[in-house]
Amino acid sequence: MRTAAEPVEVRRPSAVRALTTLLAVTAAATVVVDLLNYWYAPAQEFGLAVRTGWALLRSLGFLVLIGHVKRGRVVARPFGLILAVTTVFAVGRLVVPRSGVPPLPGLLGFGLLTALCVAVVTLLYRSDAVGGHLVRHRKGLVVEGGVISWREVTPKRPPVDGWLLTARVAAYTYSPLMLVPALIAGGSILDGRLIAVPAVLFWFGAGIAVSWAVLFCTAFLLQNRRWARKLLVLITLAALAVDLPLCWWLLDLDGLIRDGAPLLSAAALAMYSLHRAPAPARPRRS
């Protein structure tokens, strides 16, 4: 048994190289703007520190997206879309203080980051060169004719619709978007609000349960199963039914806007993607 030689890598189109550069700049800008907002915040409290930490993690998301773009992965488009949308929400909730006018450096940074995210989404969805590049599947070991090669593995299932991929990626954000405000609400326990302990524990449990439910549901969603669509709608409604009231109760109106709005936007994107995805074929009657 022998191994096949690796094929020579073809030079990527200029639009793809521009996109990877733009993503690197966006990742760096995310770090700078988040730290800038934290520096200029009137009160550097526990909740702001948690939200800033979560926003900083998104810079790693852009680095992961760069890897998907370089490999030409189909999932880069929906991943980039939800990452850009939630990044704008994550930074926007850090700019606006509880009272008073947002600082000018924070507003300028937010405007710059918003423009970068819009440019990322525009290149992902409007550039023909980028669209023609993002068509590949994952690589793996393939044994064929006594030859072992590391190459693209063509999936056995039919091609997955892009809107279903977008719904899947959006649903993956439900759990972290629930766990972040739950962690912030955990700070109220340290302030002596022991009555919040059961609610915070339930919040954490619900966030973890949603992650497992989404993982199970989206595995069948990519097969365009009708029941998986309905299940994702139920999971979305359940996540909103748990998260929004608890944000209102434990984090007040400010928390509802800062932490409920990102989950609501992710849910809206997932539901819109399900609406745009082609309807599953009905089983034929014998």
Q: Is 144 helix (H, G, I), strand (E, B) or coil?
A: strand
pLDDT at 270: 93
pLDDT of residue 134: 85
Helix H or strand E encompassing 181? helix 174-190
**Alpha carbons 265 and 247: distance in angstroms, whole number:** 15
Task: Look at residue 72 and tell me whether its pLDDT is greater than 70.
Answer: yes
Give the confidence band of 99 by pLDDT, cuts at 50, 70, 90.
Answer: low
Region 199-222: mean pLDDT is: 93
Q: What span, in angstroms and rounded, lies between the C-alpha atoms of 87 and 84?
A: 5
Q: What is the DSSP letter of 127?
A: -
Q: Are 189 and 196 in contact (CB under 8 A)?
A: yes
The answer to whether 113 and 26 have CB atoms below 8 angstroms apart is yes
Neighbours of 249 (CB within 10 A): 13
The one-letter code for the residue type at 69 is V
Least confident of 28-37, 97-106, 171-180: 97-106
Model confidence over 146-178: pLDDT tens digits?
555 555 555 555 566 778 888 998 999 999 999
- pLDDT above 70 for 20: yes
To the nearest whole percent, how much of the chain has pLDDT over 90? 37
Segments making up each domain of the chain, as ranges = 9-134, 158-279
Do 181 and 204 form a contact (C-beta atoms < 8 A)?
A: no
pLDDT of residue 150: 52
3-state class of 148 per DSSP? Answer: strand
- Report how far residue 186's alpha carbon sits from residue 189's, in angstroms, rounded to the nearest whole number: 5
Q: List the beta bridge partners of residue 151.
A: 140
What is the spatial distance between Cα 25 and Cα 62, in angstroms, rounded to a whole number? Answer: 9
**Mean pLDDT, rounded, for 97-111:** 78
Closest CA to 173 of 71, 261, 112, 255: 261
pLDDT score of 274 more than 50: yes
Mean pLDDT of the chain, nearest integer: 82
Residue recorded with tokens 């993690």: 57
**What are residue 144's phi and psi, to 5 degrees?**
-145, 120
Tell me which amino acid residue 264 is.
Answer: L
Secondary structure element (H or E) that encloses residue 112, with its range: helix 104-126
Q: Nearest to residue 66, comparing CAs of 28, 99, 98?
A: 28
Of 82-96, 166-180, 272-286, where does mean pLDDT reach its minimum? 272-286
31, 56 contact by CB (below 8 A): yes
Per-residue tokens: 38: 């934290």
- Which residue type does 76 have? A
Q: Over the stretch 224-254, which tens digit does the pLDDT of each residue have?
A: 889 999 999 999 999 999 999 999 988 888 8
Between 184 and 280, whose confidence is greater?
A: 184
**Residue pair 46/187 in contact by the 8 Å Cβ criterion:** yes
Contact (Cβ atoms closer than 8 angstroms) between residue 91 and residue 113 = yes
Q: Is the pLDDT of residue 283 over 70?
A: no
